[in-house]
Amino acid sequence: MSLSRRVWNILLSPDQEWHVIAGEKRTIRSLLGRYVIPLALIPAAASFVGYGLVGANGILFRMSGPYWGISMALNSLITSLCVYLIGTSLVDRLSRGFGGTSNPGRSAQLVAYSYTPAWIAGVFYALPGWQQGVVLGLYSVYLFYLGVPALTAIPEDQRVAYTIVSAILLIIIRFLVGLLLSDLIYSFASAPFIWSQSQ
């Protein structure tokens, strides 16, 4: 199935698409190259445009130009990959605590495909004033919930709890990785300013 068709189907007819996905065999690696990276490039490219070309006002200075564009694009891409890779591992291990079984391939499918709205909503990073639009990515939580019975052996009475805990873990991963990368970006950006003031 083509990338665009999978995206379209998982967004607009998720119940049916999860059953189609359940009939497929995928690995963490195959999903990374064929699905995750192409979609993760959407918010990365939008971040480059938003911070590198359009510009955004920071707390102490304006973020605009090649440095900010490239830095924020890399931040977005690396964060997306970490959410997928680390998230898949944790979601897979977590399933055993909710009555399911370990299956890395299925967990990778669940994380990758349910995260689709978050990557698509990343297009709003191209316009800093519209970045609140990324909240549409919360649809990912609902997609995850719908995908649980199709891809896992989680009992129905544990489905909501498993979804909530998994969503919290993915959000924490995104927050911590993004925070760490942002600190590095700001440190390098402020270094010339601090150096000039000390002369």
DSSP string, the chain: --HHHHHHHHHH-HHHHHHHHHT----HHHHIIIIIHHHHHHHHHHHIIIIIII-EE-SSSEE-SHHHHHHHHHHHHHHHHHHHHHHHHHHHHHHHHTT----HHHHHHHHHHHTHHHHHHGGGGGSGGGGGGGGGGGHHHHHHHHHHHHH----GGGHHHHHHHHHHHHHHHHHHHHHHHHHHHHHHHHHHHHHHHH-
Is residue 138 situated within a structural domain?
yes
C-alpha closest to that of 47 among 24, 16, 80, 17:
80
Q: Side-chain half-sphere of 193: how many Cα atoms within 13 Å?
A: 7
Per-residue pLDDT band at 132 (split at 50, 70, 90): low
Is residue 197 situated within a structural domain?
no
Beta strand 56-57 pairing with 62-63: antiparallel
Dump pLDDT digits (tens) for 136-193.
778 999 999 999 999 999 999 999 999 999 999 999 999 999 899 888 877 766 544 3
pLDDT score recorded for residue 198 = 37
Residue 137 contacts residue 118 (beta carbons within 8 Å): yes
Is residue 37 situated within a structural domain?
yes
Q: How many distinct structural domains can be found in the chain? A: 1
Indicate if the pLDDT at residue 58 is higher than 90: no
> pLDDT higher for 32 or 134?
32
Is residue 101 situated within a structural domain?
yes
Is residue 43 situated within a structural domain?
yes
Dump pLDDT digits (tens) for 102-129.
999 999 999 999 999 999 998 988 887 6
Q: Which residue range forms the structural domain that includes residue 75? A: 3-188
Is residue 198 situated within a structural domain?
no
Q: Give the mean model confidence (pLDDT) for residues 45-58.
A: 82
Is residue 145 situated within a structural domain?
yes
Q: Provide the token pair at 72.
A: 């924020």
Q: Provide the token pair at 174.
A: 């995104």
- Model-level pTM? 0.86
Is residue 160 situated within a structural domain?
yes
Mean pLDDT of the chain: 87
Q: Cα–Cα distances in Å, from 114 out to 57, 96, 126, 156? A: 32, 20, 23, 18
pLDDT score recorded for residue 67 = 84
Indicate if the pLDDT at residue 95 is higher than 60: yes
